[in-house]
Structure 1
Amino acid sequence: MKTSAPNPASLGLAGFALTTWLLSMINAGWFGGDALGLVLACALAFGGSAQAIAGLIEIPRGNTFGATAFIAYGAFWWSLALYLMYLHEHVVPAFVGWYLLLWGVFTFYMWIATWRASRALQLLFVALWITFFLLAASEWTGSALIHHAGGYAGLFTALVAFYLSAAEIINETHGRSVLPTGAPTSANADDLAGARTA
Structure 2
Amino acid sequence: MSAEHPIEKDMAPEVESNGTAPITHEMSAEDTARAAARFGYGPMAQVNTAEANLRPFGGEFQPGLYKSVEQRKFANPAPLGLCAFALTTFLLSLINMGTRGITANNIVVSLAFGYGGLVQLLAGMWEMAVGNTFGATALSSYGGFWISFAIVLTPGGFEIVDSIEAAGGESMFNNSMGLYLMGWFIFTTILLLCTLRSTVAFFLLFFFLDLTFLLLGIGYLRPDAAGAPNPSIIKAGGFFGLLAAFAAWYNALAGIADSSNSFFIMPVAHFPWSPTARSRAKTPRETV
Q: Partner residue of 1:160? A: 247
- Native 8 Å contact 1:55 1:68 kept in 2: yes
Give, in angstroms, the shift of residue 186 of structure 1: 2.3
Q: Partner residue of 2:175? A: 94
In structure 2, the CA distance between the partners of 1:118 and 1:74, relative to structure 1 (3 Å rule), is same
- Native 8 Å contact 1:44 1:77 kept in 2: yes
Partners of 1:111 and 1:197 lie apart in 2 by: 20
Q: Partner residue of 1:25? A: 94
Relative to the length of structure 1, the TM-score reads 0.88
Once the two structures are superposed, residues 119-145 of structure 1 have per-residue CA deviations (whole angstroms, 9 ceiling, x without a partner) of 111000011010000000000111210
Q: How many residues align?
A: 189
- Which SS does the other structure have where 2:253 is aligned? helix
Match of 1:84 among 131, 138, 153: 153
Matches within 5 A, 1:169-188: 169-171=256-258, 173-174=260-261, 178-183=265-270, 185-187=274-276
Give, in angstroms, the shift of residue 163 of structure 1: 1.1
Partners of 2:179 and 2:119 lie apart in 1 by: 26
Alignment pair present for 1:109 and 2:179: no
Q: Partner residue of 2:199? A: 118
- Which SS does the other structure have where 1:37 is aligned? coil
In structure 2, the CA distance between the partners of 1:153 and 1:172, relative to structure 1 (3 Å rule), is farther
Once the two structures are superposed, residues 47-98 of structure 1 have per-residue CA deviations (whole angstroms, 9 ceiling, x without a partner) of 0011111111111211000000000000000000001113122332111101
Partners of 1:176 and 1:56 lie apart in 2 by: 31
Alignment pair present for 1:50 and 2:119: yes
1:186 partner amino acid:
P
- Which SS does the other structure have where 1:178 is aligned? coil
Partners of 1:124 and 1:131 lie apart in 2 by: 11
Give, in angstroms, the shift of residue 197 of structure 1: 3.7
Q: Partner residue of 1:192? A: none
Greater fraction helix: 1
Partners of 1:177 and 1:57 lie apart in 2 by: 27
Q: Partner residue of 2:40? A: none
Partners of 1:90 and 1:149 lie apart in 2 by: 29
Relative to the length of structure 2, the TM-score reads 0.62
* Greater Cα radius of gyration, structure 1 or 2: 2
- Which SS does the other structure have where 2:269 is aligned? coil
In structure 2, the CA distance between the partners of 1:139 and 1:157, relative to structure 1 (3 Å rule), is same
Once the two structures are superposed, residues 21-49 of structure 1 have per-residue CA deviations (whole angstroms, 9 ceiling, x without a partner) of 00001111114244x33311111111001
- Which SS does the other structure have where 1:152 is aligned? helix
Partners of 1:168 and 1:103 lie apart in 2 by: 26
In structure 2, the CA distance between the partners of 1:144 and 1:183, relative to structure 1 (3 Å rule), is same
- Which SS does the other structure have where 1:95 is aligned? helix
Partners of 1:132 and 1:114 lie apart in 2 by: 18
RMSD of aligned residue pairs (Cα, Å) = 1.9
2:234 partner amino acid:
H
Q: Partner residue of 1:70? A: 139
Structure 2 residues not aligned, in runs of 5+:
1-67, 165-172, 224-229, 277-284
Once the two structures are superposed, residues 140-163 of structure 1 have per-residue CA deviations (whole angstroms, 9 ceiling, x without a partner) of 111210011011111111111111
Give, in angstroms, the shift of residue 183 of structure 1: 2.8
- Native 8 Å contact 2:89 2:245 kept in 1: yes
Give, in angstroms, the shift of residue 174 of structure 1: 4.3
Partners of 1:43 and 1:67 lie apart in 2 by: 18
Structure 1 residues not aligned, in runs of 5+:
188-195
- Native 8 Å contact 2:106 2:153 kept in 1: no
**Which segment drifts farther, 73-82 or 38-47?**
38-47
